[in-house]
Structure 1
Amino acid sequence: MTPTGLDADIVVVGGGPAGATAADDLARAGRSVVLLDRAGRIKPCGGAIPPRLVRDFDIPADLMVARISAARMVAPSARTVDMPITDGGYVGMVDRDVFDEWLRDRAASHGAERRTGTFERILHDADGATVVEYSTKEGETVRLRTRCVIGADGARSAVGRQSVPGAERVPCVFAYHEILRTPDNAPAPYDPQRCDVYYQGHLSPDFYAWIFPHGETMSIGTGSARKGFSLRGSVSALRAATGLETAETIRREGAPIPLKPLRRWDNGRDVILAGDAAGVVAPASGEGIYYAMLCGRLVAEAAEEFCRSGNPQALRNARRRFMKAHGRVFWVLGMMQYFWYASDRRRERFVAICQDKDVQRLTWQSYMNKELVRRDPLAHVRIFFKDLAHLFGLVRA
């Protein structure tokens, strides 16, 4: 039975980068789309975007509040290693409240209908229509009849937990950061064009802490999967150590960050996940904006194929395409986090490896272009043997 009287071909739950991108692409393709989002929530995020994202998704330069030209890695011993970006490359920094809203507005400008509310459940009518129920701020329950639901509602997605087997088991790091107003005379070693990354066990026993410039503001935060570890205490210690304890705090934010793509993104019928809900945040780095937007685009393509053909098998294509393009990168980063973040002794050696010019060049090329660099196989061989030497303690850290 073919359902009639639908409110939209597709309902997208969640208006972050993944959901807004999916809604925009589908609206441009001529599909009727409802973009359902909760108002006022800002995800804790360093806000880094690579040039590849700017190109692929037509992001205007004025959304970037800073252009980063280097990273500084800080070891447990407090030794620092600077990694300059060469050949005109950069890391763009965006404020998520402004950036996400711009993406939602762009989707609406192309025909997506924006709704504000909290997702409650997915049901099915007798004629086969999929029904999304959500509640408004006033407490009203609203029903939307549709053909397909895209769950882009973040880590531990409510859409995923209800609909996709295994979605409740995604491993997460819990991230916490504080947005500070950048002092007029920011204390050294702060540099408005450099990201500082702290690989120190007392700041994170299994991830890292950071200070990222955002022009008039800065993000200072940390993450950990270890229960009982005080994220606020860690950020407070980092602020004190860097002379930022008296800087004005604008807001505080925390959320789980998934670090492994789910084995399945769809329910084989009418629901597919995107972004954090699908687990597409890079291990080791925690980078998520580019991967979320690419995931949103691939999910939109799969949802369009499903709506056109009526074959729910089309929904599986999104994960296949994503993992074909980036599965190896995620595996490499996962292994890197497993080995190098395990102890301060290994973190010290990891920072030492970052002094290597081959490591720096290939790291930035891979980050900016979002693909493993294959043009210089000898550099990869050199790095491999240097990694082994550091791992087994054959060289000084």
Structure 2
Amino acid sequence: MIYDLAIIGAGPAGSAAAKIATEGGLSVLLLDKAVFPRDKTCGGMLSAKTLDELGFELPDELMQHEVHKVRVYGYNLDSSEWDEKRTIGKAVKRRHFDDFLVHKAIDTGAYFIEGAKLTAIDQNSTGIVIRTSRGCFSARYVIGADGVFSPTAALAGIHGRLPVWQMGFTMEAEVQVPVLNSDYGTAEFYFIPFLGGFGWAFPQKDGYNIGVGGVAWNHKRLTSYFYEFAERILKYKGINAPVPKAKGCFLPAGGIPRRISKSNIVLAGDAAGFVDPFSGEGIYYALHSGHIAAQTLLEVIEAGGDWGKAYARRCAAEFYHDFRLSLLVALVSGKKTQFQYDVLKENPSMVRAIPIIMCQRHPYDMVLKENLLPMPGRMFRTLIDKHA
């Protein structure tokens, strides 16, 4: 059988594309090297815009926590917070969330094969041959949604392994302890002494997802720093609990020009480099790029044209303006200092930048207007106040 579309990788990007394509009448093969459900290193916080992009409601049993407030901590654990008074995100466990999305795709007609590690991609006159540890399959079109180190990108000759300066790195663990009443509904972010870095603590039903992230060339230092950070946060909260073994992952930085298609093969999600370089958010862009990939394919099959070029143009129009502004914010904020926190403390509306990023599809023009442009004056006033 020759499938209309084969999707390599059954994370959010792959499952989202599979659902749209099957609903559009295509025969879809969805492949993944893992056996589901499987764990995935992630903070597990779905932003409000991610929930909107899904296009359907998630069942209550998937939800770990609903967030409406943001709290930011400086190095001395002094904090400043902003209550948006509406839902800005919901916490989930990726193991269950991704499995749910896969079954959504299966329910619409996608054929799912798990435990299928990609070994080769060949193109011939009839289409594309996908060779895996579970056998060979043929398709007319292929979406590579197989992560930051995408085998599809490498084997299809789209691009090789990303250099370390084009990536971020995160470490996280789930600590199973009672959640403090004061932490309900609150996403916490922490200043940490790493370029482009921050820490987090997100409440769940049975504890906290605690993590740190920063530029990838610091991945070894971030790995060792994570345990110091997590122990400090738990101690601050008055929680006596061991920190479990953490998991790390690399993620691409969006906003850097990359090739994302070749002939009838396109990349989506992390494989395409679609991650917000400032916030590190990837699930929204995975879902959205998966939807764009499937929608443009349906349009090309209907009206003709070059799928790869049409997809790349639409992604560029949808993502790159914000990615580049986000990259600018990340570079300007740099290695966050206590003085930067002091400025934020005196201007608590700056914390609102986080809900803006979590809720708006194109947030960075507003973030720059409300936070970056007034920054010199705010810094000057804070400096004067500190020495008054």
Q: Could you tell me the TM-score, scaled by structure 1's length?
A: 0.84
- Partners of 1:162 and 1:350 in 2: how far apart? 45
> What is the one-letter code of the residue matched to 1:99?
F
Quick one: distance in 2 between partners of 1:98 and 1:78? 33
The 3 A distance-change label for structure 1 pair 300 and 249 is: farther
Matched, 1:239 2:236: no
Q: Could you tell me which of 361, 364, 382 is aligned with 2:355?
A: 364
2:315 is equivalent to residue 328 of structure 1: no
Q: How does 1:105-124 map to 2 (within 5 A)?
A: 105-116=103-114, 117-124=116-123
Paired residue for 1:139?
A: none
Residue type of the partner of 1:118? Answer: K
Q: Cα–Cα, structure 1 residues 119 and 217, in superposed 2: closer, same or farther, change >3 Å?
A: farther
Classify 1:382/1:276 alpha carbon distance in 2 versus 1 (closer, same or farther; 3 Å). closer
Q: Which residue is 2:185 aligned to? A: 193
For the structure 1 residues 187 and 270, does the alpha-carbon distance in structure 2 shift closer, same or farther, using more than 3 Å as the test? same
8 Å CA contact 2:227–2:243 kept in 1: the answer is no
Task: Give the C-alpha shift of residue 118 in structure 1.
Answer: 0.9
Q: Which residue pairs with 2:12 in the alignment?
A: 17
* 1:221 lines up with 2:215 in the alignment: no
Deviations 1:156-188 (A, max 9, x none): 21111222544533611121111121x23x569
Percent of pairs identical after alignment?
22
Change in Cα spacing, 1:264 to 1:65, as seen in structure 2 (3 Å) is same
CA distance in 1, matches of 2:226, 2:329: 24
Does the C-alpha gap of structure 1 residues 381 and 253 become closer, same or farther in structure 2, counting only changes over 3 Å? closer
Contact 1:306 1:315 in 2 (8 A): no
Quote the offset at 1:360 in angstroms.
4.1
Query: Would you say 1:163 and 2:156 are equivalent positions?
Result: yes
1:229 is paired with a residue of what secondary structure? helix
User: 1:265–1:274: 8 Å Cα contact kept in structure 2?
Assistant: no
Q: Is the 8 A contact 1:266 1:316 kept in 2?
A: no
Q: More deviation in 217-226 or 159-168?
A: 159-168
Structure 1, unmatched stretches of 5+, are: 137-141
> Which SS does the other structure have where 1:168 is aligned?
coil
Q: Does 1:316 align with 2:286?
A: no
SS of the residue corresponding to residue 256 of structure 1 reads strand
Residue of structure 1 in register with 2:73 after alignment:
74
For residue 263 of structure 1, give the secondary structure of its aligned residue in structure 2.
coil
* Secondary structure, counterpart of 1:43 in structure 2: coil
CA contact (8 A) 1:283 1:334 kept: yes
Asked if 1 retains the 8 angstrom alpha-carbon contact of 2:196 and 2:333, the reply is no
**TM-aligned CA deviation for residue 236 of structure 1:** 1.1
Q: Which one is further off, 56-65 or 223-232? A: 223-232
Structure 2 gaps of 5+ residues are none
Q: CA deviation at 1:362?
A: 5.5
Shift of 1:97: 0.6
Cα 1:28–1:248, aligned 2, differ >3 Å: closer, same or farther?
farther
Aligned partner of 1:152 among 129, 145, 155? 145
What displacement does 1:263 show? 2.9
**AA at the equivalent of 1:39:** V
Q: Is the 8 A contact 1:66 1:93 kept in 2?
A: yes
Matching residue's letter, 2:99: E
CA contact (8 A) 1:264 1:319 kept: no
Q: CA deviation at 1:22?
A: 0.4
**Do the aligned residues in 1 keep the contact of 2:9 with 2:146 (CA within 8 Å)?**
yes
Residue in 1 aligned with 2:251? 257
Indicate yes or no: 2:275 matched with 1:287.
no
CA deviation digits over 1:90-112, x for unaligned, max 9? 31111111000000000000000
Instruction: Please report the RMSD computed on the Cα atoms of aligned residues, expressed in angstroms.
Output: 2.8
Query: What TM-score does the superposition give when structure 2 sets the normalisation length?
Result: 0.86
Counterparts of 1:355 and 1:330, CA distance in 2:
28
Give the structure with the higher percent helix. 2
- Residues 205, 343 of structure 1: 8 Å contact kept: yes
Query: How far off is 1:367 after superposition?
Result: 2.4
Supply the distance in 1 between the matched residues of 2:355 and 2:21 (Cα, whole angstroms).
Answer: 32
